[in-house]
């Protein structure tokens, strides 16, 4: 627990395909905030793609990079921060996320997430032996309690357009 006042950012959490980057960009545009994406910062810093990081350093290496990037964001003000879906798997990240700002969980059904992530290949966790839908269902079960506990706001996005989700975030933050 930190006793520091919360920094004035908006954070988006949720599984892969929940729309954090797209919705986050829209929210940033609506509020005149800067948009930041932890996956992109990791890619920039590493100089290679996420699948390459996973191949070379394993998931553990990626998680380490993710925590480093998160610590570097502590100076941000008036940013919309889209986070990688697994950023909440490391307990040490949780107080940092809470300190950074107002946390919105973009919730979506596993089937929808599977559909939204089907077309791109840059998520190594969905390229294992398990079919993507099964993997996403398992990750949802594992992570849901953490997303829930952390979220100041929860938006069920299944029936919403990304524009509508963005309004939801921008209005409540
Ligand atoms: C991951 C989600 C990805 C990326 C990495 C691992 C996860 O980010 O950080 O592939 O563990 O859920 P997105 O949620 O932006 O796809």
CA of 85 to the centre of ligand 1 (A): 4
Instruction: Please write the tens of the pLDDT for every residue from 74-130.
Output: 999 999 999 999 999 999 999 999 999 999 999 999 999 999 999 988 999 999 999
Kindly state whether residue 167 falls inside one of the protein's structural domains.
no
Counting ligand 1 atoms within 8 A of each CB, the residue from 20, 86, 107, 128 with the most, and so the one to mutate, is 86
% of the chain with per-residue pLDDT over 90:
92
C-alpha distances (whole Å) from 136 to each of 15, 16, 58, 111, 124 are: 8, 8, 19, 8, 12
Residue 3 falls inside a structural domain:
no
The answer to whether 13 and 104 are in contact (CB under 8 A) is yes
Going from the Cα of 83 to the center of ligand 1, the distance in angstroms, rounded, reads: 8
Residue 168 domain-assigned (yes or no): no
Question: Mean pLDDT across the stretch 67-76?
Answer: 96
Q: What is the mean pLDDT of residues 1-27?
A: 86
pTM for the model stands at 0.95
Model pLDDT, residue 5 = 57
Structure token digits, residue 122: 């840059």
Domain containing residue 111: CATH number: 3.40.50.300
Domain with 64, as residue range(s), is: 9-160
> Reading across the β-sheet that carries 9-13, which strands appear in turn?
34-37, 79-82, 9-13, 101-107, 153-156
Nearest to 50 by CA among 87, 88, 98: 87
Q: For residue 125, how far is its CA from the centre of ligand 1 (angstroms)?
A: 8
How many separate domains does the chain show? 1
């Amino acid at each position: 627990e930190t006793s520091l006042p919360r920094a004035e950012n908006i954070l988006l959490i949720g599984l892969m395909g929940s729309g954090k980057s797209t919705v986050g960009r829209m929210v940033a545009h609506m509020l005149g905030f800067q948009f930041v994406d932890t996956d992109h910062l990791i890619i920039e810093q590493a100089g290679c793609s996420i699948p390459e990081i996973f191949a070379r350093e394993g998931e553990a290496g990626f998680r380490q990079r993710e925590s480093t990037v998160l610590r570097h964001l502590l100076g941000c003000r008036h940013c919309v921060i889209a986070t990688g879906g697994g950023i909440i798997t490391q307990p040490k990240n949780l107080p940092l996320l809470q300190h950074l700002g107002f946390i919105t969980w973009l919730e979506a059904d596993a089937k929808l997430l599977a559909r939204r992530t089907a077309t791109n290949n840059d998520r190594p966790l969905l390229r294992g032996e398990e079919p993507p839908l099964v993997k996403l269902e398992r990750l949802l079960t594992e992570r849901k309690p953490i997303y829930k506990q952390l979220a100041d706001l929860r938006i069920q996005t299944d029936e919403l357009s990304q524009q509508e989700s963005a309004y939801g975030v921008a209005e409540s933050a």
